[in-house]
Amino acid sequence: MKQGECIGVFDSGYGGLTILKEIIQVLPQYDYIYLGDNARAPYGSRSFEAVYHYTGEAVRKLFEMGCRLVILACNTASAKALRTIQQVDLPLIDPHKRVLGVIRPSVEALADYSKNGHIGILATRGTVASGSYPIEIEKLFGMEKFHITQLACPMWVPLVENNELSGEGTEYFVRKYLDELFLMDPLLDTIVLACTHYPLLRPLIGQMIPGYVRIIGQGHIVADSLKDYLLRHPEMEICLSKGRNVSYYTTDKAEIFEQTGGVFMGERIKCRHVQIC
Ligand code: DGL
């Protein structure tokens, strides 16, 4: 792979693959490096300091490996680390490099979905506690347009990380949080899967909610938003290598990543271990 010009995609573990998959579909021409910090996942219940520190290490490693642009394909990292990395760290590391998150594009897309404005945000504890979604929604649409209900689903990431996507136990925990969410707001007509791991549970979620409720996954939204970004930033686009290569790295065992990551991507993948701290 030509060095210095790839697109990096980062997540605490496998979840970001749901974003990478859709990015590759929309923008197949570029070279990508995926990095999953599986050894330290999940991030969802960790402190601001820990998530910022871990994400910073991952971003630096991706730059070192040749990325010019990094997508934090993780809501928790986007909520807790993106702003500080963009404003404080990037100018010192290299002002020509960029780091983008998944929250802003997801919020921008909201207006296309809900009819009655009642929206449920399902996310990790960290994302919910950060208030990033309500804050961004208010910034973009004001206070009146949407009625937002947030709920943390701490059991969902471990289920997905362990490839437990169906069966009695998984059904129990999927139903548990959905029941809780609809109890908080029975008028919901839209649910945002605001954690990149959750789309893997979408088939189950779809079976357990009323048919009129729309489920928003982030993959295609982030992919379209990246496409738009590259159109608006030709100075970045021109620097990106176009070899159609995808490389996978994990901070944990490569063989395990290849198995579970292959399920996420729907094809066999080759992964390498990388040390980032
Ligand atoms: N996939 C990540 C997100 O979108 C976080 C999962 C975790 O590590 O808890 O928030």
Residue 122 has pLDDT above 90, yes or no: yes
Average pLDDT over residues 250-276: 95
pLDDT of residue 190: 96
Residues 6+ apart with CB under 8 A from 118: 146, 147, 149, 185, 187, 188, 189, 190
4 compared with 164, residue with greater pLDDT: 164
- SS3 at position 180: helix
Is the minimum distance from the CB of 74 to ligand 1 under 6 angstroms? yes
Residue 67 has pLDDT above 90, yes or no: yes
- Alpha-carbon gap, residue 160 to 199, rounded angstroms: 9
Contact indicator for 40, 77 with CB cutoff of 8 Å? no
pLDDT of residue 263: 86
Distance 42 CA to ligand 1 centre (A): 6
Ligand 1 atom nearest the C-alpha of 16 is: 1
Is the minimum distance from the CB of 12 to ligand 1 under 6 angstroms? yes
Active site residue 277: no
pLDDT tens, position by position, 203-258: 999 999 999 999 999 999 999 999 999 999 999 999 999 999 999 999 999 999 99
pLDDT of residue 111: 82
